[in-house]
A and B are shown apart, each in its own frame.
Chain A
């Protein structure tokens, strides 16, 4: 079930805020939606990559002679065949589309084969022989930080070090009645989009056209343009239906696109490259494992006085978005709580593991796990209720964040959320009741809450563009660089256009993204799709609306401010009886040659942040949310069943309650996996163990609990219709609610994710022994 709690009476909206069906659902349920691998073109070659054989070493020689003998092989490319830039990546260009000199993890690509058949390409890839000069391997980020550790890149192993210095921690600790130190750890997580990465590159004249599983087509265009050494306008990237992403179809997927493009360029023929699950899991980036050490001072009544924090994240072999992920962890390092004195040091470090990058949550879930576990531990020490301690420290309007930003200009709703959710979940009663469980199966209930800076913040320029066009028959097409990956971006952007122009959503079609006409809108990440995409669509639609209104004003003999667009009709406020249908007005405008097309541009409010001191306003607004989880733990087997999850979010304005609910359900499922099951494992020598879904297990249907979703709307002045973020919050704080519930049920606390039954059993045994 789900419910939208509307606080105040607001302007009546006709499409936005309504549970509209997804605009792309019909194609997807009838199997007519085309994903990248579904494209077949004549004369197409198949390409397969050859991955590194060792995790660290210099390439001495690549021998392709045997491979070339395989019948059907057309071209084998190595790093030398790259005509353009060798090193790419954002923000630090340290990644190689094909590695030339040195391999840094087992997923590095050393060569690519293009052949007439997939079989031939695979066979040839196996026959490529690479000789290496092996180098010592370092897998632990703390080891990698040491002076004498093997250098993975020439620049040294510490990629980024961010600091937070707020107040005086020593003073803060002095004020405290208690000071505790805790260490929390999290694991590598695989995105597990069900569609493996793929690309089809087609040479068209001196251009390359790419269909790819890319989350950010404009990024894929940039990487391909750099790799091929041709300007961006010679690369056209089209995004077909995308089979899930969760942040995972950026870097690696862009490289796959660039590799297919390279092979197409070298052979002059279309080249299709579809990864197997094993290749994908071997090469693609993961969620960062974190080591988080918190020293916290607090008073008897539960007030936190100081925090000293050290966070080390494993970036793996390449930096990818590690600095940006670390940035978010840094500025959100105290969770949703106001802490007067903070000293924080945050490091992201190269190792020879698979590299880490963007994934739903982007540096927040790890921090939330630490801080939310910590709050429960403090509550336990003080004998307080976890809800109480949270209310005691949670942000309110005027609170100052670790970076010194004063929270204002939007409703700081976290306390409201905690209270309301606890009430809905019947928290107090259950907390007491479950504590009394004595048998093998014990119940527990846990809470977790968080806040989140909306959109990119100081991570990068925060803009989006959209084009809206009204046709002669009154139907509308829209496009934007903001892309659909299942989250419902096309649907909410279509709703926005329909809302502004006062027509049913059926009038609207989303086209693209296609880099040849969709405006570059920055990446579809950071839960910014709705905010920025809808924002840009709204601006464009309003421009067109104004032109149409001016035309209608002439028809109705009034001024354009009086013109109303509603439910497919247009009329003057002065005389609502005298209507004209939207298509009729469109036709009239068309015949009178009125321009019914416009580019909308949406620019986020300006912000700034100083990475040296950690001071500034890293995000222009924040969103707030909480989860409560109920679990059953079998203390004999360690088995955990999540029975129920309550989630409450303040996304500003819910543009589509139906798809919004779907985001939360999906986030909860992923959160359960994060809490209990999922771990991408690498053996002691740097070789991955979990390369397919048989070993890397994600949540299946029978493991899903009941989920109740609540939305508390506090429209934000900076967002379209007041909307802000939801995609990542849906996941961000699920895991600690579950581990807190486990602690409640069992009395033992798992401080490293995932909370597997082995870990729980071990802790229970230790507890037993202590007794």
Chain B
């Protein structure tokens, strides 16, 4: 099939692509976006999460045919090492990163959660990030980082 997608605001067109190709493979193998990780390949661990039109999607169980014409966001699209996104800064500040393998997915969830509702509570964040597994941090710093970002967004909104 012919495929057009927008990844991190950049348009990509593929003349001929297997519609059953997994989104994760397209992103990693064809586009070199390696922040999208592979952890289980059956949709359980969540480290392959990307935002498709703003909504978390597991790229390891999503065929590319489902994202034709859609906007995809990965952490590379949020910020860069020189200019990290505030949420990324909060992840650093709150030590929400250890081995880093789940981090991109957690950040995208955080971005999605706060975008949806900046008034989100810690308990809500806890539930909402549960689709992504982390084995290092015990989740607490991740929840704190997302909450801090939510508060930051609120403060900015109020200004």
Contact = CB atoms under 8 A, between A and B. Distances in A.
Judged by CB atoms under 8 Å, the answer to whether A and B touch is yes
A277 B133 CA distance: 14
B39 A25 contact: no
Interface in A641-679: 658-659, 661-662, 664-670
A704 B79 contact: no
B101 A30 contact: no
SS of A interface (majority): loop
Contacts of A488: 98
B130 A485 contact: no
Interface residues of B, number: 56
Contacts of B93: 21
Given A485-B99, A693-B133, A700-B130, A32 B92 contact: no
Interface in B1-60: 28-29, 32-35, 37-42, 44-45, 47
B107 interface: yes
| Interface size of A as a range | 35 or more
Interface stretch (A102-110, A242-250, A462-470, A618-626): A242-250
Contacts of B89: 29
A98 interface: no
A25 B97 contact: yes
A707 B140 contact: yes
A274 B38 CA distance: 10
Given A21-B92, A194-B47, A244-B135, A704 B126 contact: yes
Contacts of A22: 92, 95, 97-98
A195 interface: yes
A42 interface: no
Interface in B61-112: 74-76, 78-81, 84, 88-89, 91-93, 95, 97-104, 107
B39 A196 contact: yes
Contacts of B134: 194, 669, 701
Nearest to A695: B44
B114 interface: no
Given A277-B41, A658-B95, A29 B84 contact: yes
B84 A665 contact: no
Contact of A243 (B76, B100, B107, B126): B100
B129 interface: yes
Given A29-B75, A701-B130, A38 B141 contact: no
Nearest to B77: A31
Contacts of A472: none
A37 B91 CA distance: 23
Contacts of A241: 99-100
A487 interface: yes
B157 interface: no
Contact of B102 (A194, A274, A707): A194
A192 B34 contact: no
Contacts of A694: 40, 42, 44
Given A194-B101, A486-B99, A30 B41 contact: no
A694 B92 CA distance: 30
Contacts of A274: 38
A702 B99 contact: no
B143 interface: yes
Contact of A704 (B29, B38, B101, B138): B138
B133 to A, nearest CB: 6
Contact of A244 (B40, B99, B141): B99
Contacts of B143: 701, 704
A700 B133 contact: yes
Contacts of A242: 99
Contact of B34 (A38, A196, A661): A38
A692 B141 contact: no
A473 to B, nearest CB: 19
B69 to A, nearest CB: 24
A336 B143 CA distance: 34
Contact of B45 (A194, A659, A662): A194
15 contacts: A21-B93, A22-B95, A25-B92, A25-B95, A26-B88, A30-B35, A30-B75, A30-B79, A40-B29, A659-B95, A662-B138, A665-B141, A692-B42, A701-B129, A701-B142
Q: Which 9 A-B pairs have the closest CB atoms?
A: A31-B35, A486-B99, A665-B138, A243-B101, A28-B100, A486-B98, A38-B34, A669-B138, A693-B44
Given A666-B135, A670-B138, A702-B126, 6 more contacts: A30-B81, A35-B34, A194-B102, A666-B138, A693-B44, A704-B140
Interface of A: 21-22, 24-35, 37-38, 40, 191-196, 241-246, 274, 276-277, 485-488, 658-659, 661-662, 664-670, 692-694, 698, 700-702, 704, 707
